[in-house]
A and B are shown apart, each in its own frame.
Chain A
Amino acid sequence: SQTIHQWPATLVQPVGSPLSLECTVEGTSNPNLYWYRQAAGRGLQLLFYSVGIGQISSEVPQNLSASRPQDRQFILSSKKLLLSDSGFYLCASLTGTYNEQFFGPGTRLTVL
């Protein structure tokens, strides 16, 4: 079974500071990886997905970027955080014959 690790679990950052959230996956190889965000009072929204190393696609224009330097590592970054970047960030993977989705524990980001 897969395990997805995310860190940190919570983060408070000032406006204009950089961001780096890391996600690593165990128990599988060559997964599709996803970053989702849940803003306050809203549903989860797909931000980025990756089908392989170095392959990143963005679903919505935003202040964030993503990278996949290794098969089981997915990083979400920003050079300068905005207040609107606050939210709950979730990393997920999809693998296997049955297209099963696995979720990380999430990172709650507050930008002040």
Chain B
Amino acid sequence: KNEVEQSPQNLTAQEGEFITINCSYSVGISALHWLQQHPGGGIVSLFMLSSGKKKHGRLIATINIQEKHSSLHITASHPRDSAVYICAVTLQSMYSGGGADGLTFGKGTHLIIQP
């Protein structure tokens, strides 16, 4: 059974700080997703990774397939970045139990950026 573990669970930082959120998983995956959930509940997909690194604006996501680990970084953090950041994986078919590429989620990291 795959577990997706995120750390930290909660993070409070000052505006401008560099933020890192970590995600580790235990079995083979075909892709890893970073998602953002705002207080109203809606979820936005930030990145989908299968290798290497992606950058979008102030957000950077990296993945190390060998170590089964990914990080999400936020540079020059801003109060509007406050949200829950969720790591989710698409399991390789041998592990998916027939879940047709459904995601397995971490519990999320609650990020608060104070002005």
Contacts and interface: CB of A to CB of B under 8 A. Distances in A.
Given A32-B100, A49-B99, A43 B48 contact: no
Interface string B73-115: 0000000000000101010000001111111111110000000
Interface residues of B, number: 27
Interface string B29-58: 011010100001111110010000000000
Interface string A97-112: 0111111011010000
A99 B101 contact: yes
A49 B102 contact: yes
Given A101-B33, A101-B45, A101-B48, A44 B103 contact: yes
**Main SS of the interface on chain B?**
strand
Given A49-B99, A57-B98, A59-B99, A103 B45 contact: yes
Nearest to B41: A106
What is the size category of the interface that chain A forms with chain B?
20 to 34
Interface string A26-65: 0000001010101000111110010100000101000000
B103 A43 contact: no
Given A49-B100, A101-B33, A44 B105 contact: yes
A105 B41 contact: yes
B86 A32 contact: no
Given A44-B88, A103-B43, A106-B42, A94 B101 contact: yes
Contact of B102 (A59, A88, A100): A59
B101 A108 contact: no
A23 to B, nearest CB: 14
Interface of A: 32, 34, 36, 38, 42-46, 49, 51, 57, 59, 88, 90, 92, 94, 98-103, 105-106, 108
24 contacts: A32-B100, A32-B101, A36-B103, A36-B105, A38-B41, A42-B107, A43-B105, A46-B99, A46-B103, A49-B99, A49-B102, A51-B100, A57-B100, A88-B41, A90-B43, A92-B103, A100-B48, A101-B45, A103-B45, A105-B41, A105-B42, A106-B41, A106-B43, A108-B41
